[in-house]
Amino acid sequence: MGWARAEGPAAKKLWGGRFTGATDPLMEKFNESLPFDRRMWAEDIRGSQAYAKALAKAGVLTEEESATIVDGLSSVASEWEAGSFEVKQGDEDIHTANERRLSELIGPLGGKLHTGRSRNDQVATDTRLWLAGAIGRVRADLQALIAAAAERAEAELDVLMPGYTHLQPAQTVRWSHWLLCHAASWQRDDMRLADLLPRVATLPLGSGALAGNPFGVDRRFLARELGFFGGVCPNSMDAVSDRDFVAETLFAASLHLVHLSRWAEDLIIYSSGPYRFVQCSDAYATGSSLMPQKKNPDALELMRGKGGRSVGGVAAILAVIKGTPTTYNKDFQESWELMFEAVDTLHDCVRIAHGVLSTLRINPEAMRRGLSADMLATDLAEYLVRKGVPFRETHHISGAAVKMAEDRGCELSDLTPDDLRTIHPLFADDVAEVWDFRRSADMRDTEGGASERSVLEQIQKLRDYLQNA
C-alpha cells in the first residue's frame, strides 16, 4: 500500500480551531495512530457510510448529499484496496485520513459527514466492527482444528497409549481419548468467543463525544445497517469509555493459547527420545545447526512461548483501563496494538496447530511399548471390588501385589493366580483377564471415559456442536 507520506501543506486538523500554536513534531508522532489503526480503514468507511445514511434519515442531509458521501467513501475504499491511498501530513489516524480524502474528492460536502459524531464514538464503532469480523475468522479456523481432532480420533480409534498423571504412567487410554481431551478445551474456547460476540457487536455510534447525538439519528437503524446484532450501547458515556470487549478478547485469546501451549507441551514430550510416540512433519520442524540428527518441534515450542507472552497482554490491557477516568481517554489508543497483536497471534497459532495436527505422524508401537503391567494395578483392585471386597481394602491388596512383583524383579502380570491367592483368597484363575490393556480402557465405559463406545460418543458430540455452532 502507499504508505509514504505525501509532501505538501499539512491537512487541517479535525480539532484545530481552538489551537494556534504549532504542535511539537515529536508530539505529532507520539499522538498519531495511523501506522496501526489503518488496518481498520474498511470498517471506518463502512461506519461512515452508515452514518451518512442515518443523517439523511434524520433530515440533516438530503438523500442526494448522503448518496454523494457514500459514493465518495467507496472511492476512498477503492484507493485503499488498490494500495494507492496517499497518507498526508496531518493524517493522525484512520478517521482523519479518510475524511480528509473524502473532502478532496467531493468538496465541502465532506465536512457535513461528522455532524453530531465524535471520534470517540467513531473509533469505538470501528474497533468493534473490526473485532467482530476477526473473531468470526478465528472461530472458523478454530472449528476446523476441532473437526480435525475429531477426524483423527475416529480414524485412530484402536491406538492405545499410556495416560499420565504427574507425568507418571497411570492408566491405559486411547490415543483418540487424548486428542479429544484437548479438543474439549478448544470447544470451550470457541464457546467463549461465541459468548463474547454479542458484547463486541453492540453499537456505540450515535453516542457523540459522551452525551449523545443532538440530531436524532436512529441508532437502531445504524445497528441493523452495520450488523450489530447485540443492539445499541445503553449509555452514551459508557459507550465511548467501554473497552471491556477488548479485555475479554485478550483473555479469551490468552486462555486458548494456554490450552494450545499445554497441547504443544504434551507433543513436545511425546516426540522426545524416551517416548517417540509422535513426530512432527518437516513442515513444522527445524534442524540443528550443529547436530545433523536433530529434528526440533519448533512450531510447538513457539506456540508454547506465545502462550506465555499472551498472558502479559491481559495484564497490560487491564492496567491501561484501570487508570482511566470516565469517559474517553487517549490511553485507549494503547488497546489497539494489544488487540491486534493478540488476535493476530491467536489466529496464526490456531492455523499452525491445525497444520501440525493434520500432518503429525504417530507411532502406535512406541505407544504400546509405553504400556506396562503396573498401570493395571487399579484394575487388579477393581477385580476384587466386583467380588464384594471394599475398595480401600483392595487398594492395599493390589499394592501388596505390586510389592511382590518388585521384590521378585518381574512384571505385575507375571504373578500367577496362585501367587495372588497368597495375598487374598478371592483371586481366581480368571484374574488373568485383568492384564489386557484394551479391556482396561473399555472398562471405563461411562460418559466421557476411555472406552471405544464412549470415545465414539465424544466424537459425535463434537460434530453435533460444530454443526450447530
Of the pLDDT bands very low, low, confident and very high (cuts 50, 70, 90), residue 13 is low
- The residue-averaged pLDDT of 316-325 equals 96
Catalytic residue (one of 241, 288, 310, 347)? 288
Question: Span 21-32, mean pLDDT?
Answer: 71
Active site residue 78: no
Contact 180, 153 (CB under 8 A): yes
Q: Is 210 helix (H, G, I), strand (E, B) or coil?
A: coil
Exposed e or buried b for every residue in 374-386, given b needs 16+ CB within 10 A?
bbbbbbbbbbbee
Q: Looking at the DSSP assignment, which residues form a beta bridge with residue 279? A: 361
Residue 90 pLDDT grade (very low, low, confident, very high; cuts 50, 70, 90):
confident
Rounded to 5 degrees, φ, ψ at 320 are -65, -45
The cell numbers describing 99, all together, are: 475524511
Give which of 133, 110, 121 is closest to 43, Cα–Cα: 133
Per-residue confidence band for 20, with pLDDT thresholds at 50, 70 and 90: low
Q: What is the length of the chain?
A: 469
Rounded to whole angstroms, the Cα distance separating 363 from 159 reads 9
Mean residue pLDDT of the chain comes to: 94
CB 138 within 8 A of CB 343: yes
pLDDT category of residue 351 using cuts at 50, 70 and 90: very high
Strands 87-88 and 5-6: parallel
**Where does the pLDDT of residue 422 fall: very low under 50, low under 70, confident under 90, or very high at 90 and above?**
very high
pTM: 0.92
> Cα–Cα distances in Å, from 233 out to 47, 156, 245, 283, 465?
15, 49, 12, 46, 30
In the annotation, is 288 catalytic?
A: yes
Rounded Cα distance, 312 and 90, in Å = 33
Inform me whether the pLDDT recorded for 59 exceeds 80.
yes
Does the structure show a pLDDT above 80 at 189? yes
Locate 462 and state its grid cell.
463434537
Task: State the sign of the Cα–Cα–Cα–Cα dihedral 251, 252, 256, 262.
Answer: positive
Which of 19, 228, 126, 148 is closest to 463 using CA atoms? 148
Residue 9 has pLDDT above 70, yes or no: no
pLDDT digits over 266-301, tens only?
A: 999 999 999 999 999 999 988 777 776 778 899 999
Q: What is the pLDDT of residues 379-399, one digit of tens each?
A: 999 999 999 999 999 999 999
How does DSSP classify residue 370? T
What mean pLDDT comes out for the span 188-195? 98
Q: Which among 118, 166, 182, 236 is annotated as catalytic?
A: 166
Please state, in angstroms and as integers, the Cα–Cα distance from residue 204 to each residue in 54, 122, 129, 375, following that order. Answer: 14, 8, 11, 58
